[in-house]
Amino acid sequence: MTNRFIAYAGAALLLQGLAACSDAKKAGNETTAPTATPSQPAENAAEIADRKLVVAFGDSLYAGYGVLPQQSFPARLEQALAARGVAASVRNAGVSGDTTAAGLRRLAFTLDGLDRKPDLVMVNLGGNDMLRGIDPAETRANLTAICAELQRRGIPILLTGMIAAPNMGRDYAEAFNAIYGDLAKRYDAALYPFFLDGVVTDRALMLPDRVHPNPKGINAIVEKVTPLVAEALEP
């Protein structure tokens, strides 16, 4: 996976990008971890009760940094699932700037704030750890704790992974990049190895910061991830 990422030359800009999210958090995200909120208004209680509940738990890439709420990954994923005939509510539990440690701290609060147990929790954390040069062992420990808690609660997991930027060095990349695949095997989680696969290198799919996908980029990601989510939601 390390060699594969060398092709993502533009991904080195992650060192200026996702890190900036920590300084550009929205006011509601700075001090209080939000409960997961619906990506779209509910039609009525009966319809919601019949839907699968998916929680997108992550950082700015889930939160929808730089785009309108209805253009965010969770909102577009919900629409894409509906187009496939999968009735699901996708809750946006993304917080810009979150590290794996911050995510772990708010996990129980987020889950306990839901009206019922999710049918699937998607996890996208670790990019900000990499940007800050946090020891991959710490990132692994935090993500392990998150997966263990979800498993303890009987909640299926889908990991959307990140890959270390090339200028983090080979040793760092090898330790960091192995985390998501290892955890997917350990916790029987579905895995999409690199959230920005095929998008980060295309300027037409990225915001001017060259780090976060624009609406077109989000749509491209959703197109790839939706089949995996639909499969994970099958009985």
Enumerate the active-site residues.
60, 209, 212
User: Which has the closest alpha carbon to 128: 1, 25, 10?
Assistant: 25
What is the 3-state secondary structure of 94-143? ECCCCCHHHHHHHHHHHHHCCCCCCCEEEEECCHHHHHCCCCHHHHHHHH
* Whole-number Å distance between alpha carbons of 143 and 103: 9
**Token pair for 90:** 């996708």
Q: How far is residue 134 from each of residues 35, 84, 126, 141, measured CA to CA in Å?
A: 26, 39, 9, 12
Q: Which residues contact 136 (CB under 8 A, 6 or more apart)?
A: 129, 172, 175, 176, 179
DSSP three-state, residue 23 = helix
CA quadruple 47, 48, 49, 52: dihedral, nearest 10 = 110
Rounded Cα gap, residues 21 and 30, in angstroms: 11
Instruction: Characterize 153-170 residue by residue with b for buried, 16 or more Cβ atoms within 10 angstroms of its Cβ, and e for exposed.
Output: eebbbbbbbbbbbbebee
